Structure 1
Amino acid sequence: MKIRVNRLALSETLSLVGSVVPSRTPKPVLRGVLMYTQGDTLRLYGTDLELSIDAGLSQVEIERQGRVLLDADRLVGIVREGGDEVLDFDVAGDACTIVGSDSRYKVYTLDIEQYPIVVPASKAGGLSVSLKDMREAARQVVFAAAKESSRYAINGVLFELKGKRLGLVATDGRRLARRRVNGTVSEGCQLAAQRVIVPTKALALVERLGEDGEELSMDLSGNQIVISCGDVAICSNLVEGTFPKYEDIIPSDYQRRLELDTLAFSSAIKRAALLTTDQAKGIKISITSDKMVLSSRAPEAGDAEVTMPISAGCQPLDIGFNPQYLLEALRVVQAPRIQLELGEADRPAIIKAEPDFLYLVMPINLG
Structure 2
Amino acid sequence: MKITCLRESLTSAFALAASIAPTRSPKEILQNVKVTATGSRITLTATDLDVGIRLEVSEGVEVENEGAALLPVQRTMAILRESNDEKLTIESDDSGIRVTGSRSKYRLPGSNPDEFPSVAEFNEDKYHVLSTRLFREMVKRTVFATDAESSRYALGGVLLEMEGSSIIAVGTDGRRLAKMEGTGEPQGGHQTSGASTIVPTRAIQLMERALSDKDDTVDVSARANDLLLRTPRAVIYSRLVEGRYPSWRQVFPQREKAVQIDMTVGPLFAALRQAAIVTDHESRGIDFTFGDGTLKLEASTAEIGESQVELPIAYDGETITLTMDNRYVADFCKVLDSESSFVIEVESSSSPALLSTDDGYSYVIMPMARDR
Considering the TM-score relative to the shorter chain, is it more than 0.5? yes
Number of the residue aligned with 2:134 = 133
1:5 match: 5
Distance 1:43 1:173, change over 3 A: same
1:150 maps to 151
1:365–1:70 Cα change, 3 Å? same
Aligned residue number for residue 291 of structure 1: 294
1:314 deviates by 2.7
Displacement of 1:94 in angstroms is 3.5
Q: Which amino acid aligns with 2:20?
A: V
Q: Which segments of structure 1 move beyond 6 Å, counting only runs of 4 or more? A: none
Q: CA deviation at 1:252?
A: 3.4
CA distance in 2 between partners of 1:152 and 1:236 (Å): 15
Are 2:115 and 1:111 aligned? no
- Which runs of structure 2 are paired with 1:217-232 in the superposition (5 Å)? 217-232=219-234
Counterpart position of 2:239: 237
List aligned pairs for 1:1-367, cutoff 5 A: 1-58=1-58, 59-120=60-121, 122-123=123-124, 126-151=127-152, 153-191=154-192, 195-208=196-209, 209-211=211-213, 213-253=215-255, 254-334=257-337, 336-367=340-371
Contact 1:152 1:243 in 2 (8 A): no
Contact 1:152 1:242 in 2 (8 A): no
Shift of 1:194: 6.7
Q: Does the aligned pair in 1 maintain the 2:46–2:119 contact within 8 Å?
A: no
CA distance in 2, matches of 1:306, 1:354: 27
CA distance in 2, matches of 1:135, 1:38: 31
| TM-score (ref. length: structure 1) | 0.95
8 Å CA contact 2:125–2:187 kept in 1: the answer is no
* Cα offset, 1:192, TM superposition: 6.6
Is 2:261–2:315's contact at 8 Å kept on the other side of the alignment? no
Say if 1:37 and 1:65, in contact at 8 Å, map to a contact too.
yes
* C-alpha deviation, 1:109, in angstroms: 0.7
User: CA 1:124 to 1:346, structure 2 compared with 1: closer, same or farther past 3 Å?
Assistant: farther
Please report how far the alpha carbon of residue 130 of structure 1 lies from its aligned counterpart in structure 2 after TM superposition.
0.7
Contact kept? 1:32, 1:110, Cα under 8 Å: no
Question: Could you say what secondary structure the match of 1:70 adopts?
Answer: strand
Q: What letter is aligned with 2:322?
A: I
The 1:278–1:239 alpha-carbon spacing in structure 2 relative to 1, beyond 3 Å, is closer
Report the alpha carbon displacement of residue 112 of structure 1 after superposing the two structures with TM: 2.3
Instruction: Return the offset for 1:191.
Output: 3.1
- For structure 1, the 5+ residue unaligned runs are none
Code of the aligned partner of 2:368: I
SS at 1:252 equivalent: coil
> Quick one: distance in 1 between partners of 2:189 and 2:38?
29
Any conservation in 1 of the 2:122–2:230 contact (CA below 8 Å)? no
1:190 CA displacement: 4.5
Which is worse superposed, 110-119 or 237-246?
110-119
**CA distance 1:37–1:190, change in 2 (3 Å):** farther
Letter in 1 for 2:71: L
Displacement after TM superposition at 1:124 (Å): 7.2
Q: Letter of the 1:13 partner, please give it.
A: A
- AA matched with 2:313: I
What's the CA shift for 1:185? Answer: 0.7
SS of equivalent to 1:201: helix
Cα separation, 2, equivalents of 1:326 and 1:84: 47
Q: Partners of 1:117 and 1:333 in 2: how far apart?
A: 39
Give percent identity, aligned residues only. 29
Larger displacement relative to structure 2 (325-334 or 169-178): 325-334
Q: Does the 8 Å contact 1:34/1:69 carry over to 2?
A: yes
Q: Which runs of 5 or more structure 2 residues have no equivalent in the other structure? A: none
Q: Secondary structure, in 3 states, of the residue corresponding to 1:88?
A: strand
Q: State how many pairs are aligned.
A: 367
Q: 1:4 touches 1:88 (CA, 8 Å); kept in 2?
A: yes
RMSD: 1.7
Q: Which amino acid aligns with 2:243?
A: G
Structure 1 position 227, deviation (Å)? 0.1
- Distance 1:213-1:315 versus aligned 2 partners, 3 A rule: farther
**TM-score under structure 2 length normalisation:** 0.94
